[in-house]
Amino acid sequence: MIDPLLETGAAAATPIWLVTEESFAAIRERLPAAARGFAAAQGYEPKPGAACLLPDPEGRLQGVLFGVDGDKAPHPDPFLVGKLPTLLPEGLYRFANAPSDPALATLAWLLGSYRFMRYRKGTEKAVRLVLPDGVDGGEVTRIAGGVRLGRDLVNTPANDLGPEEIEAAARQLAAKHGARVETVVGEALLEKNFPMIHAVGRASSRAPRLVDLRWGSETAPRITIVGKGVAFDTGGLNLKPDSAMLLMKKDMGGAAAALALADMVMGAALPVRLRILIPAVENAVSGSAFRPGDVLRSRKGLTVEIGNTDAEGRLILADALALADEENPELIVDFATLTGAARVALGPDLPPFYTRDEALAADLTRLALCVNDPVWRLPLWPPYAAMLESKVADISHVSGKPFAGSVTAALFLARFVEAARAHVHFDIYAWNPSTKPGRPEGGEVQGARLVYALLKERYGRGA
């Protein structure tokens, strides 16, 4: 099955000519005279992202000119055609000449068509595309579907998406793919030895929980994905200012990325034993909230001094990572909207990742370019671990110094993973501050397409 916005073999589709400054003259000469004259009258120039809708003599849409990056562009954008669904009228279109990467262009078209319509009246515009030759329609549909799932979750406000609803989303996904889900909820977290998940979530009227999804053969390579599921983050007793709290519905973006990735992996039937762990909480304020200066005992047994209740994500991740590590998996991946320091360092579009596995780092760096899911490696710099020393506990969960906040957070998480063959931590933003081609403003899934490409390359059938 392919996406409803894709179609095969439609001869009546409106052509889109992808033009560069180098190719425009030759393509223009092949246009009908009326279309050529109209483009000239409009003063059309083939700048990247510039479109010109060409009428026929009766005024009907005959074709589209769209500027793309040329071969000499220093930073070509393979998602540039994702701008087209926002520009074109409803209808069916085809690329008259092949994009530089047809699969990424098709994916960009689908991702650029995304709209979050849960709370709006109106109908979505169906701007459809003929599937380019050589593109696997099922694969591109699977990837786009996973991203849409994650975007919908991030965009949903916390009044409609709390810990229970995050669990429901995981259960719905499990039912779709024949996976199984177990949860540990509320006071049972203490009984099952998840004390830090409980501590962070206990102040909310909505019970904290650990969601545990399993899929695949027990004899297959073990891959565990951990996603931070803070449905809303007030900052706890270290209360955030209103400007910082406004977007905190997105603080479950790690859980959204984990579920998006799971949808891709299970949909592709990759031969892995997949486990998804989502600690889902709301970091609220009440008389039972955990406090700065508290010392919490973790699942791993390490005692953790609390320096700031607004650094709650690493606490719930630590318990989940310790559980993941107990199975000695081949790979643990965690996604988390963890630090503002990562945004200061690299901005919203370029999440840092951390790993001690050099081969894994090289593969992620290479594949990030191939699938246009950008990341940048930052170091697990051992000397900075001294910033997490505590005088009363085994470790402090935040640094007392105003430096390297993303690095020290990653170093904290690394303390809870010892047995896994490899571990990678992604400090994601999960949000597009403004609309770009293929990336509408709002919730975003970062890192999931990249890790899917990694798993497909390493474990896919015939790999």
Kindly tell me if the per-residue pLDDT of 363 is higher than 60. Answer: yes
Kindly tell me if the per-residue pLDDT of 11 is higher than 80. Answer: no
Q: What is the mean pLDDT of residues 360-383?
A: 98
pLDDT at residue number 83: 97
The model's pLDDT over 148-169, given as tens digits with 9 standing for 90+, comes to: 999 999 999 999 999 999 999 9
Kindly tell me if the per-residue pLDDT of 411 is higher than 70. Answer: yes
Sheet holding 295-297, edge to edge: 295-297, 303-305, 395-396
Alpha-carbon distance of 354 to 338, in angstroms, equals 13
Rounded to 10°, the helix 137-155/163-177 angle is: 160
The DSSP symbol for 436 reads B
Q: Do 418 and 325 contact (CB within 8 A), yes or no?
A: yes
Nearest by Cα to 142 from 397, 400, 453, 393: 453
Kindly tell me if the per-residue pLDDT of 81 is higher than 60. Answer: yes
pLDDT at residue number 292: 98
pLDDT at residue number 1: 83
The model's pLDDT over 385-406, given as tens digits with 9 standing for 90+, comes to: 999 999 999 999 999 889 999 9
Sign (positive or negative) of CA dihedral 141, 226, 323, 380: positive
Would you name the residues annotated as active-site residues? Answer: 240, 314
pLDDT band at residue 313 under the 50/70/90 scheme: very high
Kindly tell me if the per-residue pLDDT of 463 is higher than 60. Answer: no
Kindly tell me if the per-residue pLDDT of 25 is higher than 80. Answer: yes
Nearest by Cα to 293 from 349, 222, 233, 238: 238
pLDDT at residue number 70: 85
Please report the domains of the chain, with CATH numbers, ordered by start residue. Answer: 6-135 (3.40.220.10), 141-459 (3.40.630.10)
